[in-house]
Amino acid sequence: MWAQVFRITFLPALFLLTACGEPPEPENQNAGQTFPNAEIPAVIRDQVDALSTTVCDSAEGLKTNITTFLNSPNPETLSEARAQWRQAHQSYARLMVAYNLAEREPPHIEEDRDTQDAFPMLSGYLDRVPGYPRSGIVYSEVPLTPDFLRSEHQSTDFLYLTLGFHPLETMLWGSADQGTEERAKLYVQKESVAEDKVDSHARRAELLRLIAHRLSRDARVHCPAAGLETLMRDLTLLADNKALARQAIARALETLIEPRLSAWQNNPGGEDRNGMPVWHAPFAKTDFTEMASQVDALQTRWLTALMPDAREAESDNTLENRFSALAERLNQHADAGNNQTVDGITLTRDELNVLIAALSPPPQLEESAQSNVPADQVNTKEQALGPLDSEESRE
């Protein structure tokens, strides 16, 4: 079981941590980089603006819903906060499609440390889990401050998460066997607590509040117009070359969707051999819904934006059908929840591979596409890990 991975011996190390000063805002990795003097098409500017604005608005909405829940902890306000988490995380996943297409590292990922969507995590590291009723930071005496959360996040282990979507997910859902009523009660403030006891309810609420506020702040890195200009220009380079655009869309499918389906095919029960979840969101269980949403973004937003004449060609109409078929299969997996099968995942991977093959140009066209890219743009951008990086990819 996942909980068995956690050991109380992890917690003493927390007392050794000291706070540090506020770090500078993430530097734009593209500062000083020159781009062809090309006009950014309105369709690309509109797509990126819409995606980034939705991310910032939904993260702010999540903070608001969590504040409402903490002010009045009950099943209804908890359910609303959970629903907003799902919306905010899906918005983030759709924006990561744009970064992936542009082969641009998202600005919040530095040295493989992701402050917004790192996973997996040890849930017992933050709060109680079955078998360990007084475990995690909630039951410790470490100070709950923004500085502590920032310095502790992935400090000594990639599984130690204190920032981003998935610590929030853990704090909102608790564990798989907790219903909304039971979980909400753990946030109701106690009238009094013995001096030798930890006020776990107060600490749990404060931890949730701090993480939500930090995520709302961190999400703003995606929203300034100046910060998105280089992303738009990278996407414009793709729009100028249909073959290159097809390659980029195929690569997005290979990096965003294929690894997840492969993990599920190898572990249809939902856990790997180390007892860690295959789910990217093990409590919210939004993986397949979000994969379907990313496929939809590629089809409805980027296929049109990067290849505006796509619907006029018979071959590209076939692409649209393939995209729709893949999204439909992913939604079927979403409906199945924990009841995934090897055969079902295999059929979906087959559908994905057919779509990737249809997008991939013959070798001679691929060479032609690369030859049309400005020299300073070839092999200079690292591929974005996006929201789907794994421990294996970091090693």
pLDDT in tens, 118-127: 999 887 889 9
Per-residue confidence (pLDDT) for residue 224, from 0 to 100:
74
Partners of 110 in beta bridges: 113
Q: Where residue 195 falls among pLDDT bands split at 50, 70, 90?
A: low
Q: What is the pLDDT of residues 217-244, one digit of tens each?
A: 999 999 876 678 999 999 999 988 889 9
How far is residue 289's CA from residue 266's CA, in Å, rounded to a whole number?
A: 20
Give the mean pLDDT of 165-177. Answer: 91
Domain residue ranges of the chain, discontinuous segments joined by +: 41-222, 241-394
Per-residue confidence (pLDDT) for residue 395, from 0 to 100:
39
Give the mean pLDDT of 16-23. Answer: 40
Answering whether pTM is above 0.85, one says no
Please determine, for residue 3, whether its predicted confidence score (pLDDT) is greater than 50.
Answer: no
Q: What is the pLDDT of residues 31-90, one digit of tens each?
A: 334 444 468 999 999 999 999 999 999 999 999 999 999 999 999 999 999 999 999 999
Please determine, for residue 30, whether its predicted confidence score (pLDDT) is greater than 50.
Answer: no
Give the mean pLDDT of 266-281. Answer: 92
CB 369 within 8 A of CB 241: yes
Give the mean pLDDT of 151-178. Answer: 90
Helix and strand counts by DSSP (H, E) for the chain: 15, 2
Of all residues in the chain, what percent carry a pLDDT higher than 70? Answer: 78
Give the mean pLDDT of 341-369. Answer: 82
* C-alpha distances out from residue 179 to 78, 129, 230, 280, Å: 10, 14, 45, 20
Burial (CB count <10 Å: 0-12, 13-18, 19+), residue 393 = exposed
Query: Can you say whether the dihedral through the CA atoms of 73, 89, 4, 196 is positive or negative?
Result: negative
Per-residue confidence (pLDDT) for residue 226, from 0 to 100:
64
Per-residue confidence (pLDDT) for residue 208, from 0 to 100:
98
**Higher model confidence: residue 21 or residue 139?**
139
Per-residue confidence (pLDDT) for residue 197, from 0 to 100:
82
Cβ contacts of 185-191, under 8 Å, gap ≥ 24: 185/73, 187/69, 187/70, 187/73, 188/73
How far is residue 216's CA from residue 59's CA, in Å, rounded to a whole number?
A: 5
Give the mean pLDDT of 177-194. Answer: 90
Give the mean pLDDT of 248-266. Answer: 97
Query: For the chain, what is the largest distance between any 2 Cα atoms, rounded to a whole number of angstroms?
Result: 75
C-alpha dihedral, 255 to 343 to 336 to 5, nearest 10°: -70
Length of the chain: 395
Per-residue confidence (pLDDT) for residue 370, from 0 to 100:
52
Q: What is the pLDDT of residues 328-352, one digit of tens each?
A: 999 999 999 999 999 999 999 999 9
Burial (CB count <10 Å: 0-12, 13-18, 19+), residue 114 = buried
Whose CA is closest to 218, among 67, 111, 114? Answer: 114
CB 131 within 8 A of CB 5: no
How far is residue 376's CA from residue 363's CA, in Å, rounded to a whole number?
A: 22
Q: Which residues contact 28 (CB under 8 A, 6 or more apart)?
A: 107, 227, 230
How far is residue 88's CA from residue 172's CA, in Å, rounded to a whole number?
A: 14
Give the mean pLDDT of 112-121. Answer: 89
Phi, psi of 277 (to 5 degrees): -70, 140
Whose CA is closest to 356, among 242, 258, 253, 255? Answer: 253
C-alpha dihedral, 332 to 88 to 387 to 294, nearest 10°: 40
Give the mean pLDDT of 234-257. Answer: 94
